[in-house]
Structure 1
Amino acid sequence: MKARAITSEVLLGIAPIALLIGLWQAIDSFGYAPVTLLPPPGLVFARLLQQLTSSEFQQEIAATLFRLFAGFAIAVVFGVALGLAAAVSPATNAVVRPIVRVLAPLPKVALYPALLLLLGFGHESKITLVAADALFPILLSTYYGASMVEQKLIWSAMAAGTPRRQILFKVVLPAAMPSILTGCRIGLVISCIVVFLAEMITSTDGLGHLLVTAARTFQAVDMFVPLITISLLGLILNGLLQALRSYLLRGFPEV
């Protein structure tokens, strides 16, 4: 029964994508858009397969993934640490809360020109932008997850002899883990978007740079290849994070 449910879920997930590709093909077949601007999906996917065997294209993917992983890792470390600290310490909460209220709604890409001036045009500015954008959903999810831990769990741990200094890591953190991982999934999606956008604005490598270069030379097929690639990378990374979530939360009633 479980295998059948998983298969049904996969098929339901594939159906909208297949419908979108079919609509794309129909637009091309009926001539609603010029081929020079919207090439047929078959041509785009064939070009993608060709590019994936190219070492140059693999290096572009590696550059994008390096920036994505570095920024996302920084966001996870600081987001979880600040979220837990704000949840258990009223003094830290008093400091963090106004900062979050001011900076969370701010579009971080607006800070990118300043980051370029401070950190240069290399990896550092892009990694910082990714970390800044992914930080807040992780921080907020961690804070609310830790704040919602039932007090009776803490009392039970203390009654069982757990030292007070270990309550955070043995009780609060495990109980808040579902919320933390949800924030991480949101942060990962944001990281994929932001790193691609940063590379489009200013970069000499990466998938975003490839898209801008193809657009400037009116290479429509090559312009769609980076878009599909970053979408596939996001899909794969999200699937891996979901598998990690299922593993870490295997003792919970629902995953």
Structure 2
Amino acid sequence: MTSRLISANLLLGLAPIALVIAAWQGLVSFGFAPATLLPPPGYVFSRLLQQLVSWTFQQEIAATLVRLFAGFAIAVVLGVSIGIAAAANPAINAVVRPIVRVLAPLPKVALYPALLLLLGFGHGSKITLVTADALFPILLSTYYGASTVEQKLIWSAMAAGTSRYEILFRVILPAAMPSILTGCRIGLVISCIVVFLAEMITSTDGLGHALVTAARTFQAVDMFVPLITISLLGLILNALLGAVRSYLLRGFPEA
């Protein structure tokens, strides 16, 4: 029964992708879009396979992944730490709440020119931008999860003589883990978008840079390859994080 359910979910997940590819092919085949601007999907995927075995393209992927993982990891550490601290301490909450209300709605890409002036055109400015964008979903999810922990669990732990430090890591953090991991999945998707956008704006390497370079030389096929690559990377990373979530939350009914 479980294997059938997984197979059905897999088919349902693949169906929209297949429809998009079919619509793409239809636009080209029936002449709604010129092949010079919208190449057939077969050409794009064939070029993708060629590029994946190319050392130059592998370096572009590696540069993007370094920025993505570094920014996302920093966002996770900061978001979880600040979220739990704000939920556990009213004084910290009073400081963090107005900052989050002001900065969370702000489009962080608007700060990118300032980051370029401060940190330069290398990894630093892009990692910082990824961190800034991924931070708030993780922080807010952590704060919500930690704030909604049942008070009776904390009282029971205190009655058993558990220290505040142990309550934090043995009661609050495990209880908030579903919400934290949900925030991490949202932050990961945002990280993929932001790192690609930052590389498009200004970079000498990375998938975003590869797309802009192909567009400037009117190489339509090579322009679509980085787009599909970042989409596949996001899909794979999201699936891996989903597997980690299922493993960590195997005792939770919703996992």
TM-score, normalising length from structure 1?
0.99
Question: Partner of 1:149: helix, strand, or coil?
Answer: coil
> 1:52-63 counterparts in 2 under 5 A?
52-63=52-63
Consecutive unaligned residues of structure 2, counting only runs of 5 or more, are none
Alignment of 1:161-172 (within 5 A): 161-172=161-172
Q: What's 2:245 paired with?
A: 245
What's the offset of the Cα at 1:218?
A: 0.4
Q: Report Cα offsets for 1:159-193 as digits up to 9, x if no partner.
A: 23322221111100000000000000000000000
Matches of residues 119-138 of structure 1 in structure 2 within 5 Å? 119-138=119-138
Write the letter of the residue equivalent to 1:177: M
- Alpha-carbon distance between aligned partners in 1 of 2:253 and 2:244, rounded to the nearest angstrom: 16
Partner Cα distance (2:33, 2:163) in 1: 67
How far the C-alpha of 1:253 sits from its partner, in A, is 1.6
Supply the distance in 2 between the matched residues of 1:145 and 1:183 (Cα, whole angstroms): 10
Q: CA deviation at 1:254?
A: 1.8
Kindly provide the CA deviation profile for residues 28-56 of structure 1, in whole angstroms up to 9, marking residues without a partner as x: 00010011100000000000000000011
CA distance in structure 1 between the aligned counterparts of 2:217 and 2:127, rounded to whole angstroms: 28
Question: Tell me, what secondary structure is at the counterpart of 2:12?
Answer: helix
> Counterpart of 2:216?
216
Corresponding residue of 2:92: 92
1:226 aligns with 226
Partner residue, 1:205:
205
User: Residue 232 of structure 2 aligns to which amino acid in structure 1?
Assistant: L
Alignment of 1:45-124 (within 5 A): 45-124=45-124
| Residue identity matched to 1:69 | F
Count of residue correspondences: 255
Spell out the pairing of 1:144-155 with structure 2 (5 A cutoff): 144-155=144-155
Output one character per residue of 1:190-227: Cα deviation in whole Å (capped at 9) or x when no partner.
00000000000000000000000000000000000000
Distance 1:215 1:177 in 2: 43
Distance 1:215 1:162 in 2: 61
Structure 1 residues 92-145: Cα deviation after superposition (integer angstroms, max 9, x where no partner): 000000000000000000000000000000000000000000000000000000
Give the distance between the partners of 1:230 and 1:171, measured in 2 at CA. Answer: 37
The 2-side partners of 1:164 and 1:50 are apart by: 56
Counterpart Cα distance in 2 of 1:76 and 1:16: 31
Residue identity in the other structure for 2:29: S
How many angstroms does 1:155 deviate by?
1.2
Moved more, 241-250 or 162-171: 162-171
The one-letter amino acid paired with 1:209 is: H
Structure 1 residue runs of 5 or longer lacking an equivalent are none
- Deviation per CA, 1:50-104, whole angstroms, max 9, x where unpaired? 0000011000000000000000000000000000000000000000000000000
Q: SS of 2:218's equivalent?
A: coil
Aligned match of 2:195: 195
Structure 1 CA distance for aligned equivalents of residues 146 and 32 of structure 2: 52
5 Å-filtered alignment, 1:28-47, equals: 28-47=28-47
What is the alpha-carbon root mean square deviation over aligned residues? 0.6
Q: 1:183 — aligned with what?
A: 183
SS of match in other structure, 2:36:
coil
